Homo-oligomer: A and B are copies of this chain.
Amino acid sequence: MKAKREALKSLFTAMKDGKVDEDIIELLLLINSIKGIYTTSSCSGRIDIIEEPALGAKPLSRWLVKVHRPIEFEEAKEALKDAKNGLIFLKSQPPIFHVVAEDIERAKKLHEIGLTSGFKYTTFKVISNRYLVEINATEYLTAPLGKDGKVLVSDDYLRFAIEVGNSMLKRSKGRLPRLGENFRKLREEVGEDGLFYELVRDFEIEKNWRIP
């Protein structure tokens, strides 16, 4: 799979550049070690405060703060001082994994794994001849906080919204171990990918990370 080779090179380079969320690296390595599948953009879940200049103008959005763990009230309050223009949102989103499967059988297995691991919004798309499975959950928060530099909520509300967002993040991240177990079972079933181990050696991944 030429596409997998390119995807793995990308991933390993990004890992070495510190651009991949540490708390899903082990899971990403596990998934990529499996024959016939590989990950593309994935995220370990996050809470952020973001400004959207116009509804839907996503590319022009500006992050005020973004963390991959529960956020502190003080961080959020500090970040809001930078608000300038557009709608300000507090957003919480669960871990999301994008996994490409080379055939429909594997895609169905990935879909099954997502669902049985509690990631209820697991779906897929067909792109060219590949199946892109998105392992996604339901815990999304999108709370407007203000507009054009002006915060329209009280500190109490901010604390409350952060508490809700943090709870959602903890719930969804809490499923990662189960997802890991299910991927291990899949690996036992379909086998390992020699290409993965070859690139792990080329990129000396073992120096800094455990190979699952």
Contact = CB atoms under 8 A, between A and B. Distances in A.
A157 B153 contact: yes
A126 interface: yes
A134 B123 CA distance: 9
Nearest to A115: B125
Contact of A125 (B124, B157, B164): B124
B55 A168 contact: yes
Interface residues of A, number: 33
A55 B94 CA distance: 14
Contact of A152 (B108, B134, B144, B160): B160
A12 B111 CA distance: 32
A51 interface: no
Interface in A114-142: 122-126, 134, 138-142
Given A108-B126, A123-B124, A123-B125, 8 more contacts: A87-B164, A107-B126, A123-B123, A143-B143, A152-B156, A152-B157, A152-B160, A153-B153
27 contacts: A55-B139, A55-B164, A55-B167, A55-B168, A55-B171, A56-B138, A56-B139, A56-B171, A58-B138, A104-B104, A107-B126, A108-B126, A111-B125, A122-B125, A123-B125, A123-B134, A124-B124, A124-B125, A124-B126, A141-B144, A142-B142, A142-B143, A144-B161, A152-B160, A153-B153, A153-B157, A154-B154
